């Protein structure tokens, strides 16, 4: 275990072997953490707000099992009265103080991308949503709706999010809570949850469009937009992506109508499920998309060129039909606007990249307490997401900078260029060895690895934040 002094006031942050990316000298990790909080503090209002923000962030990066505000305050305080005062300060900065979420998130994302892009370019923007299971009915946006985590309708909140990924890493860029019509059109509920007037009912594709627009306005490097059928089935969403010069590879429902284009001839419109019945089994070819612990993993795919009826652009698209092992018939379809010269293996590779959001959500929830927030207001939920996003961005940058590249990237020149983002090299920093990349998730029976993140025992205080 590496113990790193990251708090000038005498507190300790303990990094376990689960986060070997932070296995460096005490001074370099402390310096990067302080500099990172200084960057975030430039958009916060005053010294008390900056200090409370940093304390909350360190608490979320700790090994506490429950990362709601009260346990974090108790972990930092020496006696109950001090814990109560700290809890009130954390409650204020998280639920009440009107600091700018968008500006804080932008600084965090740029910090993480500085490390990620030194290893590989951004290749995908992944659209997805994640549920937050609730037992009551007072949390903002909660209602009975489909919960992907449970695979059924349940009482939960749902938040669409945007994730940027490279070949080796991914970072959570933005997230916004989905507000159902039952909340958006109820003045009493809006007042109780303090929902801003500009927040109105939007479908999930409309929310995702706004997240993408914010990412483009921030100048984030573009990539192929990936997503499931909740986004891909919307013709308007696909058209808006192309209007922004973004290519996409999105899943669609089998009820989607297409016109097959073959040798310059355009067939009559038919639904994808009807089209599947006309394809022979030999139309599907097996493509391996990764190597697992038990050998190569793959599925059978068929590729067609199609047009979409009533699409004013009349653009010819890829239709990718997927037939997974163990299924009696193909049951998944995807549309892509990538050029005709794109290789089929590349299409399949990008198709599988969409599932990397599952790792992002798992780490953010299990390690950083994304789903531990117990407040009921709109601002509190959005602030909590912002702090978690900042913590996740910092850990991604540390992990990317500490692990030396492997394979074709492993050259002495490349290793020499790996520096902490925007801070320069630090003498005496030791690099931890990077194990061979294994894209497979751990088996269900394996005990969860210890936290990526720290444990803190005193409120964060640093001269530059005060």
Domain spans, the chain: 2-102+375-465, 117-359
Which CATH number applies to 117-359: 3.40.190.10, 3.10.129.10, 3.90.350.10, 1.10.486.10?
A: 3.90.350.10
> Is the pLDDT assigned to residue 198 strictly greater than 50?
yes
Q: Please tell me the predicted confidence (pLDDT) of residue 298.
A: 83
Give pLDDT tens digits for 248-288. 999 999 999 999 999 889 999 999 999 999 999 899 999 88
Q: Using CA atoms, how far apart are residues 404 and 332, in angstroms rounded to an integer?
A: 38
> Is the pLDDT assigned to residue 322 strictly greater than 80?
yes
Q: Please tell me the predicted confidence (pLDDT) of residue 403.
A: 65
Position of tokens 């990526």?
452
Give which of 195, 167, 169, 198 is closest to 183, Cα–Cα: 195
Give pLDDT tens digits for 119-155. 899 999 999 999 999 988 999 999 999 998 888 999 9
Contact call for residues 401 and 418 (beta carbons, < 8 A): yes
Q: Please tell me the predicted confidence (pLDDT) of residue 405.
A: 53
Quick check: pTM over 0.75? yes
- Helices 235-243 and 204-217: angle between axes, nearest 10 degrees: 10
- Helices 69-76 and 47-60: angle between axes, nearest 10 degrees: 100
């Amino acid at each position: 275990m590496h113990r790193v002094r990251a708090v000038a006031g005498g507190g300790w942050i303990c990094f376990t072997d689960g986060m070997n990316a932070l296995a460096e000298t005490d001074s370099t990790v402390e310096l990067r953490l302080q500099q990172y909080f200084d960057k975030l503090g430039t958009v916060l209002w005053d010294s008390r707000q900056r200090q409370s923000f940093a304390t909350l962030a360190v608490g979320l990066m700790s090994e506490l099992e429950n990362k709601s505000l009260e346990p974090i305050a108790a972990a930092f305080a020496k006696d109950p009265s001090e814990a109560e005062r700290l809890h009130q300060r954390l409650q204020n900065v998280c639920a009440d103080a009107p600091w700018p979420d968008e500006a804080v998130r932008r600084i965090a994302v740029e910090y993480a991308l500085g490390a990620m892009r030194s290893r590989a370019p951004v290749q995908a923007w992944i659209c997805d949503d994640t549920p937050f299971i609730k037992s009551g009915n007072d949390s903002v946006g909660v209602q009975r709706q489909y919960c992907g985590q449970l695979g059924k309708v349940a009482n939960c909140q749902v938040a669409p999010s945007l994730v940027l990924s490279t070949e080796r890493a991914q970072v959570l860029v933005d997230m916004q809570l989905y507000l159902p019509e039952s909340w958006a059109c109820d003045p009493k509920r809006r007042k109780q949850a303090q929902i801003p007037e500009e927040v109105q009912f939007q479908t999930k594709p409309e929310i995702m469009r706004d997240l993408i627009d914010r990412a483009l306005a921030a100048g984030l490097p573009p990539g192929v937009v990936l997503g499931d059928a909740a986004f891909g089935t919307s013709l308007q969403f696909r058209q808006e992506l192309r209007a922004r010069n973004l290519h996409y590879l999105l899943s669609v429902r089998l009820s989607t109508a297409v016109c097959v284009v073959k040798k310059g001839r355009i067939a009559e419109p038919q639904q994808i499920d009807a089209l599947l019945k006309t394809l022979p089994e030999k139309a599907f070819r097996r493509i391996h998309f990764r190597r697992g612990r038990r050998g190569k993993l793959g599925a059978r795919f068929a590729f067609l060129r199609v047009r979409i009826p009533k699409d004013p652009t009349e653009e010819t698209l890829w239709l990718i039909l997927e037939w997974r092992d163990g299924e009696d018939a193909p049951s998944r379809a995807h549309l892509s606007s990538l050029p005709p010269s794109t290789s089929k293996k590349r299409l399949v590779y990008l198709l599988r990249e969409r599932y990397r959001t599952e790792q992002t959500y798992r780490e953010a929830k299990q390690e950083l307490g994304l789903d531990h927030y117990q407040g009921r207001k709109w601002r509190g939920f959005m602030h909590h997401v912002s702090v978690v996003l900042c913590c996740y961005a910092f850990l991604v940058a540390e992990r990317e900078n500490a692990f030396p590249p492997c394979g074709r990237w492993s050259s002495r020149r490349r290793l020499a260029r790996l520096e902490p983002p925007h801070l320069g090299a630090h003498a005496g920093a030791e690099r931890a060895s990077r194990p061979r990349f294994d894209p497979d998730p751990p088996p269900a029976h394996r005990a969860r690895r210890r936290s990526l993140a720290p444990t803190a025992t005193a409120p964060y205080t640093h001269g530059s934040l005060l």
